Structure 1
Amino acid sequence: MELTVQVAANVPVQPITEYLQNELLLPRKVRHFLRTRRNVLVNGVSQPFHTLLQPGDTLQLTFLASDYPEAHILLGNAALVHVLYEDRDILIVNKPVGIKTHPNAPQENETMLNHVAAYLAGQQQAPYVVHRLDQETSGALLFAKNPVVLPILGRLLAEKKVYRTYQAQVVGNVAKKEFVIDAPLGRHRHDRRKRVVDEKNGQSARTHVTVCYHTPHESGLMLQLETGRTHQIRVHLASIQHPIIGDPLYNPHAKSGERLALHAVALDLTHPFTQEKIHVEALPSLF
């Protein structure tokens, strides 16, 4: 695998070895092999690893298959992959309702990871999960197309530089226009599937809410995650007595067969290698 990266304008001047560690997050073993094999070119020329990189410099890195052994993924159905954005490194798809993000058992082949693996098979690439959506949540889902970009996207996610916008339709009239739900989340004591607000032992969780419409019986919300805890939006909305319509876990009045009215409608990030601003919208939206 070959990778070409241009040093971004906002990256400080630093030696090649520090750039590979600090910016590309390459493991020590991989950095060692790149150095001993002389598999890093700077502007087309092999340079010692103490050479200072300048903004605008172009790096060409060559990896061997043994540097990043691929996990075996069963191939699913490529026809179920609806691409919202794709380049050499990143793939964003529109996940349908009812499909899990990734398998929980080796023999599963009906998750989005399996379907994306089938889609990428012709490109001789494999997908890597960057974040997940619940099985009954639809919308924009981000994958890495190579193992080099995966930890970088993970860092952007952790640093809140991947912006995920959700739509939800909830029970009841939410009259307040904008507010933040700040409530730590932990595991449910008696139901492994569920999470609860746990002020004492829970992990911090913040959800920004904007009300788009409201009626006496239903409201439409736009939500942005400041954190990304399991079931965060679902638990937060249920905790303020406005559970999501169709939520089988947190809405006691959900009807059988009714879809969970939660949709990842938009995703925004800056491409870590090209600095391109990426914005996608997963249509159709809920409202």
Structure 2
Amino acid sequence: MEYTMILPADQSTTTLRELLENEWLVPRKVRHFLRTRKEVQVNDQPAMFHQTVSAGDKVTLVIEDTDYSYQPVLLGNAVQVNVCYEDAHLIVVNKPVGIKTHPNQPDEQDTLLNHVAAYLAPTRTQPYVVHRLDKETSGVVLFAKNPFVLPILGRMLEQKDIYRRYQAVVWGQINQDQTITTKIGRDRHDRRKRVIDPRHGQTAVTHVTIDQKHAKTTTIYCVLDTGRTHQIRVHLASIGHPIVGDPLYQQQSAPRMMLHAHDIHLTHPFTKEYLIITAEPGLW
């Protein structure tokens, strides 16, 4: 597969080797393949790794299918894919309630990853999971469309250069915006659940903003500084305001769990365009 990137206006002058290794995180063995096969061009000319590149230069790489390893997944149903954004490197889809983000067993065929794989199959493109949502949660999920961009997105997640904003409806009235910082650990009695664990839990930070108060519920937005399993669900339940319809952390029945990843914010790793991608219509 051939990939062409125009270096953005804020790109500092650097060598091609430094660009591939430090900024684009191309693995050593793949850099070796690119160099020995002479499959790197700058401005449509064969390039040497020691030459410099700068803003406005066009860099073209030819990545072979065998350069990166890929765990194949069964193709699902492309009709179930609701695309919020797509380009040559990224695809953001709106995950429906009730399906998993990715399979846990190789014979599974009804997860979001399976469906996105089916959607991309006509273009011989394969999706790679960048992050996940719980089965009961709907909303934006980001996939890489090639292994080349995957480590860059992973680093952006680690450095908190990608974040999602969640909508939720919780029981009771929350009286003020707040930040919840209690640590979260595993529930020793139920492997499906997480609990507040001040002594042994992992650091977790959830910012809560009130949107609207109702007679028995409050609609809110949440932004996370950390990505612990069930973080929003556990944190909100811990302050006495569990999410409506949560099957694990509250007792009252509802048609669905009222938690939706409404939008994702990131700077595109190649164009440097700042993207805000939403999964409409959301919960309200």
Please tell me the TM-score bracket, short chain as reference. Answer: over 0.9
Partner of 2:183: 184
- Residue 13 of structure 2 aligns to which amino acid in structure 1? V
Quote the Cα distance in structure 1 between the aligned partners of 2:212 and 2:153. Answer: 34
Between Structure 1 and Structure 2, how many residues are aligned? 284
Quote the Cα distance in structure 2 between the aligned partners of 1:226 and 1:67. Answer: 34
Within a 5 Å distance, the mapping from 1:1-287 to structure 2 comes to 1-176=1-176, 178-251=177-250, 253-255=251-253, 258-287=255-284
Structure 2 gaps, min length 5: none
Quote the Cα distance in structure 2 between the aligned partners of 1:271 and 1:122. Answer: 25
Quote the Cα distance in structure 2 between the aligned partners of 1:57 and 1:185. Answer: 47
Quote the Cα distance in structure 2 between the aligned partners of 1:45 and 1:183. Answer: 55
User: CA shift at 1:163, angstroms?
Assistant: 2.3
Quote the Cα distance in structure 1 between the aligned partners of 2:280 and 2:49. Answer: 46
Quote the Cα distance in structure 1 between the aligned partners of 2:185 and 2:53. Answer: 44
User: CA shift at 1:61, angstroms?
Assistant: 0.6
- Residue 22 of structure 1 aligns to which amino acid in structure 2? N
- Residue 128 of structure 1 aligns to which amino acid in structure 2? Y
Q: Considering only aligned residues, what root-mean-square deviation do their CA atoms show, in Å?
A: 1.3
User: CA shift at 1:10, angstroms?
Assistant: 3.2
- Residue 71 of structure 2 aligns to which amino acid in structure 1? A
| Stretches (4+) displaced over 6 A | none
TM-score by length of 1: 0.95
User: CA shift at 1:225, angstroms?
Assistant: 1.3
**Per-residue Cα deviation, 1:206-247 (whole angstroms, up to 9, x for no partner):** 111101111342110011111111111001101111110111
Structure 1 gaps, min length 5: none
Quote the Cα distance in structure 2 between the aligned partners of 1:246 and 1:47. Answer: 57
Quote the Cα distance in structure 2 between the aligned partners of 1:58 and 1:245. Answer: 50
Quick one: percent identity of the two aligned structures?
A: 54
Quote the Cα distance in structure 1 between the aligned partners of 2:27 and 2:21. Answer: 7
- Residue 3 of structure 1 aligns to which amino acid in structure 2? Y
**What secondary structure is seen at the aligned counterpart in 2 of 1:275?**
coil
- Residue 279 of structure 2 aligns to which amino acid in structure 1? A
Quote the Cα distance in structure 2 between the aligned partners of 1:46 and 1:89. Answer: 23
